Amino acid sequence: QEQLQQSGPGLVKPSQTLSLTCAISGDSVSSNSAAWNWIRQSPSRGLEWLGRTYYRSKWNNDYALSVKSRILVKPDTSKNQFSLQLNSVTPEDTAVYYCARSLGYFDLWGRGTLVTVSS
Amino acid sequence: QSVLTQPPSASGTPGQRVTISCSGGSSNIGRNAVIWYQHLPGTAPKLLIYNNNQRPSGVPDRLSGSTSGTSASLAIGGLQSEDEADYYCAAWDGSLNAWLFGGGTKLTVL
């Protein structure tokens, strides 16, 4: 059964790094047709796509302009998972973070992780 | 600020038909497929429409999507109380190399 399982801390201090992992079941992070995304949702910003990683003969990444200077989305083929690192977080980064697969549209989602940025 | 523009709110009474608009540009809606999601608090977004007007299995045919130029619309007919939720459009932007979401529309069933 296809499934995305998220893990990571729910509380991060300002200026530190937010790190989340998304474990994939029933598909492969190295798929030649899928891309693996991070999306967040907050009351003030709604749904916001952050970035993705995907394999098409080589690994590729795309990132939203709003976070491009401080984000890294990385695959881990040995564990069939991918991760999000968001540096220098502020309270504005408080949100529910989702991982999601895209095959032309986001068809498979993780359950979401509420991450609060607070000291 | 979202590049895809949606009205912040919409409302209707049970049984009515409501339309939610999504305005974009030539590098996103004008060139790529539009997707619509329903989002309820505490849950992952639910896919309603893909490829502008296709419904996944399980989505009732009283929901429909359409596009015209650089705009898209989601229509919900026979409004029900369970339709009360936030609705988002999304499209790939070929100039930004990024997925864009609209700002979301909160639908209230009166």
For the stretch B7-27, pLDDT in tens is 999 999 999 999 999 999 999
Q: In this complex, do B51 and A62 lie within 8 Å of one another by their Cβ atoms? A: no
Work out the pLDDT band at B50, boundaries 50, 70, 90.
very high
- Per the CB < 8 A criterion, the answer to whether B84 and B107 are in contact is yes
- List, in sequence order, every residue forming a beta bridge with B99; answer none if it has no partner: B92
Identity (one letter) of the amino acid at B32? N
Q: Quick check: B2 pLDDT over 80?
A: no
Instruction: Please answer whether residues A114 and A18 qualify as being in contact, where contact means their C-beta atoms are separated by less than 8 angstroms.
Output: no
pLDDT in tens, A57-115: 999 999 999 999 999 999 999 999 999 999 999 999 999 999 999 999 999 999 999 99
Residue B74 near residue B83 (C-beta atoms within 8 A): no
Residue of B nearest to A95 (CA): B42
Beta-bridge mates of residue B30: none
pLDDT of residue B3: 81
DSSP string, B41-101: TTS--EEEEBTTTBPPTTS-TTEEEEEETTEEEEEE-S--GGG-EEEEEEEEETTTTEEEE
Query: What mean pLDDT do residues A21-49 have?
Result: 96
**Residue A81 structure tokens:** 């998972």
Of B44, B90, B96, the CB nearest to A65: B96
Q: Which amino acid is located at A5 in the chain? A: Q
The CB-side HSE value for A17 (13 A sphere, CA atoms) comes to: 10
CB A37 within 8 A of CB B92: no
Identify which of B97, B79, B99, B80 has the alpha carbon closest to the alpha carbon of residue B88. Answer: B99
Distance CA B10, CA B90 (A): 18
What's the start-to-end Cα distance of chain A, in Å? Answer: 39
Residues in A touching B45 (Cβ below 8 Å):
41, 47, 98, 106, 109
Mutate one of B50, B99, B101 to test the A interface: name it (highest A CB count within 10 A).
B99
Q: Quote the pLDDT of residue B4.
A: 95
Q: Does the pLDDT at position A25 exceed 70?
A: yes
B101 to chain A, any CB pair closer than 8 A? The answer is yes
Write the pLDDT tens digit of every residue in A55-72.
Answer: 999 999 999 999 999 999
pLDDT tens digits, B52-93? 999 999 999 999 999 999 999 999 999 999 999 999 999 999
Residue A89 near residue A19 (C-beta atoms within 8 A): no
Residue B48 at interface with chain A, using a CB cutoff of 8 Å = no
Residues 6 or more apart whose Cβ sits within 8 Å of residue B70: B23, B24, B25, B26, B28, B29, B30
Would you state the pLDDT for residue B77? 96
